[in-house]
A = this chain, B = another copy of it.
């Protein structure tokens, strides 16, 4: 293996902190306390915080890319793929974060930290966003072509809107301290991409 157990533990702690508080809001001391080593030992594995951040973004991208590939392998049904994507983000929100604070998708969190990040990390974040939007755009386009989804306009614009809405919904849910708000928003979004929108969740048609 290319990465030691200690490096893994450091990355796990760093990811939990980055997802709850952002990349600039935790220190090597925070990591040292949680991993049970000294800050100097962390510098051995990740000489600078930029190195740590780069590894963090790369690992997260790889994990998510693997999950998206798994979804595409499990089902070809476009609505089901979208539902699984929304569930993926919900599971992030449900993963215990720091204390009672909710985790946000690392990509969305780093997007909000963007201007303060080292150049390497900025590239990684932009790549993550592009990859997610492209995956969604592909699902949307296929779904519209096979008649399982219905929406108007450019599939790239639709995918950007959907990605933005899901990421934003995590932020809104956390600022309301109500994870169920993410679920409600995601369900509404998914229903509005369904072929027969009149059967949407919560529709009031009598």
- A residues whose Cβ falls under 8 Å from a Cβ of B: 20-22, 24-25, 98, 101-102, 104, 108-109, 111-116, 122, 125-126, 129-130, 133, 151-154, 157-158, 160-169, 171-172, 174-177, 181, 184-185, 187-189, 191-192, 197-198, 200-205
Contact = CB atoms under 8 A, between A and B. Distances in A.
B115 A21 contact: yes
A185 B157 contact: yes
A164 B175 CA distance: 12
18 contacts: A22-B112, A22-B113, A24-B25, A112-B112, A122-B175, A126-B175, A130-B176, A153-B191, A153-B204, A157-B184, A158-B188, A160-B181, A160-B184, A161-B188, A163-B168, A164-B172, A164-B185, A192-B192
A162 to B, nearest CB: 8
B101 A115 contact: yes
A192 B160 CA distance: 14
Contact of A108 (B21, B114, B126, B171): B171
A25 B171 CA distance: 19
A50 B167 CA distance: 27
A88 to B, nearest CB: 16
